[in-house]
Amino acid sequence: MPSEIDNRTVFERVEQKYGMSFIEFVEECRDEKGMSLEDICQLIGCGVNNIRRIFKQTEFKFHLPPKEMMLSQTNLFNKKSINIGNILSRQWIGTLKI
């Protein structure tokens, strides 16, 4: 006997099964359980491209790059002496003491 096709949308499936919105569910799986996009798709029962389409429609970003400080905001850059963080950013001739 063939399996029945689930005609509910992904949003409806998540809300009925887990009692939260789709975005809340994805954020919880990603942040608290460390699940990948593929793991979440298996759990929900849909394809990766379907989830990516939903992310695009809702402007949700699954993978956020970690924020990095600009070089000019680091302690190495702001020191008065030459170091690996500031050697190419200033003119050192005349300021060096040998």
Q: Is the pTM of this model over 0.85?
A: no
Structural domain boundaries in the chain: 10-58, 70-98
For residue 42, give the amino acid letter.
Q
- Sequence-distant (6+) residues with CB within 8 A of 73 are none
34-82 tens-digit pLDDT = 888 889 889 888 888 988 888 888 888 877 556 676 766 677 777 888 8
Let me know: does 48 contact 12? Beta carbons within 8 Å: no
